[in-house]
Every structure is written in C-alpha cells, then in structure tokens.
C-alpha cells in the first residue's frame, strides 16, 4: 500500500500559495460547524516513517486551524497509573470530546508495531491486536466520530536524504539526533510490519491514508484537503451511519427463561445469616490482602430492579474492605464531559488501579436495560452495545481485572412491598421516585431486556450471577460467597489468562446446590 506514495509528488510554491488561503478558510468554517453545530469528535492519527513530516504536519494544522478546538495527544512511555489499567485505558482517557479535533502523535498502533519489530509478540498476536483495534475504531465511528488515519511514507533513500538536509541547515539541525539515524537502520523491518498491520486495519469505516512525505507542500496540502473533505462529508450527513446490527433478540417459546427458573423462595434465617456473613466477609478481607491480588484488580457490577437490594449488598461487601482500597461508583445521568464522549467512556474512567476495587451501583449495562426499554437510545445503539460491552470486559479480563457481575432479581410482589415500606420509613423515603413507580409498568419489557443481556454478555470469564433476592439475607450471602469464589479462582489462575470465549450459562445454580 506504500507504492502510491513513491510517485515523487511535488507542489510548486506558487500553486501552494494559491491553494492555502481557500483551504484555510474552509477548514476554519468546518471547525466551527463541528463545534457549534453537530458536535462531531475527530480523531486524527499522524503516523509513519521518521522524517516524513509528522511534526511539521501537526504544526501546519495548528497554523491553519483554530487551536481552540485542537488538542495534540502524545503517548510516550505509559505512566504507572496507565500501566495499572488495561492498555487501551490511556487512549480512552485522551479521546477528544465532541466538537474537538484530537491529533494523536502516537496511538494504539504504536505499541503493537514496536512490539512486533522487537519480536515481543508473534504474528498471531499482532493479528489479534488488529482485530481489537478494528472493533475499537468501529465503536468510535458508530459513536459519531470521524477517524482519520494518516501514514507518512518515505523511501529509505528519501529518509536518509531528509535527515541529511535537516542536519545541514543550522536552523533545523537540532531536530536530528542519533535516535533518528538508528531508526533508519530498522526501516525495512518497520515497512514490513507496518505494511502487514496497516492492511489488516484498513477498514471501510477507518481506512488508512498513505501520504508521500518527501515534499512539504504536497504533504501539507494533501492532508489539509483530505481532512477538509472528510469533515464536510460528515457535516453534510443527514442520518447517522452505523455498522449494521442483526436485530436478533431472544424468544421464550415455552414461556421459560433464566429469570422464571429462579427460585425466589430461597431464604436464610437471621442466625445462620450472621455467621455466614461474618465468615465470607472475613474471607473477602483475606483475599483482597492476598499478595497475588496486588497485581490484579476487582470490578463488581451490580444491576437489579429498583429496591432489589443493591445498596445493602454493596454495604456488606465494603464492610470487609479498607476504605482506602475501594470506590463505590453510583451510576447516575452522565455529566456534560461524559456526554461528549463514547458511552463507555464514563465507565473506563473509573477502572481501578492494581490492588483496588471498584463497585459499580448500576453499570455499563444501562444501555441494554433502561435505555433500551425507555427508548433513550436507538435500537441500533443498544444492539451494538452488546459487542462493545463484551469488548470492554474482554480488555479488562485480558489485563488481569477480575470482573464479577450480579443481577439481583425480585418478584413484582416483593418490589411493591418494599416500595410501600420505604414510603413508610422517613429515612428511606428519598430512595423512591416517580421513576421507580413508572418503571414497574414496564416489568415485562425489562424481563425481556434482562434475558437478552444475560444471553449476549454472560461470557467465559465474566459470567452473570443471577441472585434470588426476595430474601435479603440469602442474597447477601450468595453475593459474598460468589465474590470470594470468583476471586479465589482468578487468583489461582495466571493473570491475563482470560480467553475470548463464547457465551456460557450464567452461574445461577451454584448457590442453589448448597
């Protein structure tokens, strides 16, 4: 794919001078439309051979466009905060918000290419990274972003030539270091690995744009015009374009499903409850202090009908933890900064460091539950969310995060009883809202959404645990026990051993067998 960038493209000074003012005005206009109008985020990757003009192009973009809506994001060595999270975390945290252009000097392509050149990963592993990147970029595009990936190419001779030119001019000599000369030696290897990797990631939704880097004016003008055309096209789009999704949902032909099969009569008397609670809390306290946990982290996801007892269960868990070790993240309406990002961004930002615990009171499943049922997002949005959620959890698992997901199920009668009780007791009144009563009307739609969710996202290392929660004692002990057992199993296994596997049955039967 580099051949088209070895043509010897050149633009004359006069042609350049003639073209720039109009291009510049149009780019500024497009930026205003991006920012004030449709609030489109733009992810602009600048990559390629050294000396092919990456830095110069960024400077030209800053010169032509309004820097108020531009950010340059540089990724060198990951910080320890970044190393303690899944590798993609550092890119998620840096994504440009809607209306802004993020210029990425270095990106999710840098590490796989470097690791392959250094022989740290196999070709198969490289291909797996390509697949992961393709899905990530598809998510960005589905979320409304424009993803522009530039690769600046130079022939080997061209690269040597350019370094010499820079070095011979005292005004630019400082830009050439031994590092640049060393990179010239790895030219062939980089061409080979990058060629392969670019091919695999050259998708319809985020294709590579290879630009010949030799001539400054040609390169600048080409980048400027491609950026402008892409922005104008996107701004002109009247309907959102997203990856097609199969509108396949589960059907209960015989009226039975994972929820209807739960035995909500399970109960635990107060006395054994107290003993078991203390026992499992003690065990949990040991597990989070286990030296092996210091290289891992724990993410607990709590979902359940209103009044199902999520808060009470969470309090029983944190009672066994050191306050310095955990965060409870109550998921409410997204903030302005969160709304300006892909919908999983607000969960990525709360991923815990190693040795830490994050407990989500409601989760990233909101999109396939409340948002689906209440129509807060389009069908396309929630249908593609299953895949995005599985990718999200896969990235956590692959990085050694222990992911434990609970659905707390109560009967309609039990929920009504708890609602009425809450209204009686002054200090619980604030937990009941209009919305709670309204949600009850959609009970069946919610059951359907839950069953679909369990089927589509109960995966190998991140299964759903369905909790029979009519009896709070029983539910709390089952949750603590499950948590301990999942942690024990995870700590016994090697970190990062998570395999991308198919969906499996939720762990609903474990406690029942007691």
The closest of 363, 3, 255, 326 to 153, measured between CA atoms, is 3
| Contact criterion met (CB below 8 Å) for 426 and 470 | no
**Size (the chain), residues:** 514
DSSP-derived secondary structure letter, 96 = P
Q: Which stretch binds a second copy (CB under 8 A): 6-14, 62-70, 214-222, 476-484?
A: 62-70
Q: Which of 15, 18, 21, 501 binds a second copy (CB under 8 A)?
A: 21
Q: Which of 1, 7, 15, 25 binds a second copy (CB under 8 A)?
A: 25
Question: Does the footprint of a second copy cover residue 175 (CB under 8 A)?
Answer: yes
Find out whether 341 and 272 touch, Cβ atoms under 8 Å: no
Dihedral of CA 309/405/439/252: which sign? negative
- Report the number of secondary-structure helices (H) and strands (E) in the chain: 20, 10
Nearer to a second copy (CB atom), residue 2 or residue 69: 69
Helix 270-289 to helix 310-318 angle, to the nearest 10 degrees? Answer: 50
Select 65 or 145, whichever has its Cβ closest to a second copy: 65
Q: Kindly tell me which residue out of 7, 12, 37, 59 binds a second copy, with binding defined by CB under 8 A.
A: 59
**What is the Cα–Cα distance from 34 to 32, expressed in whole angstroms?**
5
Closest CA to 151 of 195, 108, 187, 95: 195
Tell which one of 105, 141, 258, 498 touches a second copy (CB under 8 A).
105
CA-to-CA distance for 212 and 342, rounded, in angstroms? 32
Is 336 an interacting residue with respect to a second copy (CB under 8 A)? yes
The one among 19, 71, 235, 250 contacting a second copy by CB under 8 A: 71
Strands 464-468 and 146-153: unpaired
The answer to whether residue 94 forms part of the interface with a second copy (CB under 8 A) is: no
CB of 53 to a second copy, least distance (A): 11
How far apart are alpha carbons 456 and 350 in whole angstroms? 24
CB of 18 to a second copy, least distance (A): 14
Q: Give the interface segment with a second copy, choosing from 100-108, 216-224, 256-264, 470-478 (CB under 8 A).
A: 100-108
311 binds a second copy (CB under 8 A): yes
For residue 166, state whether it binds a second copy (rule: CB under 8 A).
no
In angstroms, the Cα distances linking 498 to 384, 408, 493 are: 23, 25, 9
Task: CB nearer to a second copy: give 12 or 335.
Answer: 335
Q: What is the x/- site pattern for a second copy, positions 285-304, by CB under 8 A?
A: xx--x---------------
Q: Does 323 help bind a second copy (rule: CB under 8 A)?
A: yes
Closest CA to 468 of 312, 304, 316: 304
The residue among 19 and 200 lying less far from a second copy, judged by its C-beta, is 19
430 binds a second copy (CB under 8 A): yes
Q: Is 333 in the site for a second copy (CB under 8 A)?
A: no
Quote the CA–CA distance of 132 and 125 in Å, as a whole number: 11
H/E segment holding residue 283: helix 270-289
Farthest CA pair distance, the chain? 89
Residue 504 as a binder of a second copy (CB under 8 A): the answer is no
Measured from the CB atom, the residue of 105 and 351 that comes closer to a second copy is 105
How far is Cα 100 from Cα 340, in angstroms, rounded to an integer? Answer: 10
Of residues 188-247, those binding a second copy (CB under 8 A):
none
At residue 477, the 3 state secondary structure works out as helix
Q: Tell me which of 122, 237, 260, 327 binds a second copy, using CB under 8 A.
A: 327
Nearer to a second copy, 251 or 333 (CB): 333
* Interaction of residue 87 with a second copy, rule CB under 8 A: no
Residue 420 beta carbon to a second copy: minimum distance, rounded to whole angstroms: 18
> Is residue 469 a contact partner of residue 266, using CB atoms and an 8 Å limit?
no
Which of 328, 416, 432, 445 forms a contact with a second copy (CB under 8 A)? 328
Q: State the minimum distance, in angstroms, from the CB of residue 204 to a second copy.
A: 29
Enumerate residues 249-278 that contact a second copy by CB under 8 A. Answer: 278
Q: Rounded distance, CA 99 to CA 42, Å?
A: 8
Phi-psi region for residue 304, left (φ > 0), alpha (ψ -120 to 50) or beta? left
- Nearest C-alpha neighbor of 60 from the set 98, 27, 12, 99: 27
Task: State yes or no: residue 424 binds a second copy (CB under 8 A).
Answer: no
List interacting residues with a second copy (CB under 8 A).
21, 24-25, 28-29, 31-32, 46, 54-55, 58-59, 62-63, 66-72, 74-76, 79-81, 103, 105-106, 170-171, 173-175, 278, 281-282, 285-286, 289, 311, 314-315, 318-319, 322-328, 330, 332, 335-337, 353, 361, 425-427, 429-431
């Amino acid at each position: 794919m580099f051949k088209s960038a070895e043509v010897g493209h050149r633009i004359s000074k006069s042609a350049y001078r003639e073209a720039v003012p109009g291009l510049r005005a149009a780019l500024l206009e497009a930026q205003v439309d991006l920012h004030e109008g449709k609030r489109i985020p733009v992810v602009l990757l600048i990559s390629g051979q050294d000396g092919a003009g990456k830095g110069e192009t960024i400077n030209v973009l800053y010169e032509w466009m309004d820097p108020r809506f531009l950010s340059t994001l540089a990724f060198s060595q990951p910080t320890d905060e970044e190393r303690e999270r899944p590798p993609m975390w550092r890119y998620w945290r840096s994504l440009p918000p809607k209306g802004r252009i993020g210029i990425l000097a270095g990106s999710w392509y840098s590490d796989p290419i470097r690791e392959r050149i250094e022989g740290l990963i196999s070709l198969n592993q490289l291909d797996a990274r390509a697949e992961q990147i393709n899905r990530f970029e598809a998510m960005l595009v589905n979320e409304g972003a424009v993803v522009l990936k530039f690769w600046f190419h130079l022939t080997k001779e061209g690269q040597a030539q350019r370094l010499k030119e820079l070095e011979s001019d005292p005004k630019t000599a400082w830009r050439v270091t031994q590092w640049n000369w060393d990179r010239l030696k790895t030219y062939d290897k980089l061409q080979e690995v990058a060629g392969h990797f670019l091919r695999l990631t050259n998708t319809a939704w985020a294709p590579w744009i290879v630009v010949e880097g030799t001539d400054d004016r040609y390169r600048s003008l080409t980048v400027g015009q491609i950026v402008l055309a892409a922005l104008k096209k996107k701004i002109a789009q009247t309907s959102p374009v997203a990856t097609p999704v199969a509108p396949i949902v589960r059907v209960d032909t015989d009226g039975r499903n994972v929820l209807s099969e739960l035995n909500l009569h399970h109960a635990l008397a107060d006395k054994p409850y107290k003993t078991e609670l203390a026992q499992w809390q003690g065990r949990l306290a040991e597990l989070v202090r286990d030296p092996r946990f210091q290289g891992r982290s724990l993410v607990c996801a709590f979902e359940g009908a209103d009044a199902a007892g999520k808060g009470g269960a969470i309090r029983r868990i944190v009672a066994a933890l050191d306050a310095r070790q955990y965060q409870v993240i109550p998921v409410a309406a997204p903030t302005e900064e969160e709304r300006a990002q892909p919908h999983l961004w607000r969960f990525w930002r709360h991923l815990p460091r190693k040795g830490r615990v994050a407990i989500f009171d409601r989760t990233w499943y909101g999109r396939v539950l409340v948002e689906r049922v209440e129509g807060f997002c389009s069908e396309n949005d929630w249908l593609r969310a299953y895949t995005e959620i599985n990718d999200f959890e896969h990235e956590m698992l692959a990085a050694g995060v222990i992911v434990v997901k609970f659905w707390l199920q109560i009967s309609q009668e039990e929920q009504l009883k708890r609602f009425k009780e809450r209204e009686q007791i002054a200090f619980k009144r604030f937990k009941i809202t209009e919305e709670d009563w309204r949600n009850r009307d959609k009970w069946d739609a919610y059951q359907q959404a839950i069953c679909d969710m369990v089927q589509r996202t109960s995966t190998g290392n991140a299964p759903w645990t369905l909790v029979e929660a009519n009896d709070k004692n029983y539910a709390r002990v089952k949750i603590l026990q499950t948590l301990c057992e999942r942690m024990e199993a995870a700590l016994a296994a090697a970190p990062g051993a998570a395999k991308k596997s198919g969906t499996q049955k939720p762990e609903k039967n474990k406690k029942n067998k007691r």
